Structure 1
Amino acid sequence: MNNEFQPVNDGEIISLNHQDIGRQLNLASHGFDDVQVKSEQFAKVIRRRLNIKDAKGQTLFKEGIGCEVFKSGSTGLQKGRLRARLVMEFCPDELINDFPELSQDKYFSNDEI
């Protein structure tokens, strides 16, 4: 099994099973089993579902929310803001070689070389 995750870029299409995931995120399926969405739209949906705001109205994914963090090696809590970033990565079940090695004998006879 492959464990090589690669970034999903803006504009790439993500196809999700509507029953499993799409319904949880309120994505319209228009009667189909799967729902297709651009990666940046999917990220927007996730951020909207996790619309976490602090008392000042600051959001987790933009300005950051007020919090305190006990950092390793420090002597106590430090006040500040916490901001989250959403990074989507994809790991194919099977690696696909889009450019197989070209062997000369497969495409040319010895007379042509």
Structure 2
Amino acid sequence: MKILNVFLMALFLSLAGCGDQVIENSEPDRAATIPSSAIWVGGHDGGVFISITKPTDTDKEVYWGEIFYASGDIAYKGHMSLFPKENDGFDINNQSSYQGWDGDTLYIINNQSLKIVE
């Protein structure tokens, strides 16, 4: 009976540590080529650093984007257009505004996105 109790206690303790864990700060080390102002968009399984600015000499929905892989290599640099065009914009400096990058679209809050301008 003692062996069973010890076994059950060990099983309980090992399972107690297997719950869902949230990784709060999963940002990787910043490569030297990534600007200090760039924001990490991603999780523990990957992501990109982004730097978005709003040029004053462009249309309301046009932004300038620089997107970097965690290695520091550039993924994209150029103009991006906000969709849908009828929108209220978003806070370009708020990390929680961004949801992910798929290679040609940067997904942001409120079902909006920034797409590469070709």
TM-score by length of 1: 0.22
- Tell which structure's C-alpha radius of gyration is larger: 1
TM-score by length of 2: 0.21
Higher relative contact order (CA 8 A, sep 6+): 1
Higher strand content, 1 or 2 = 2
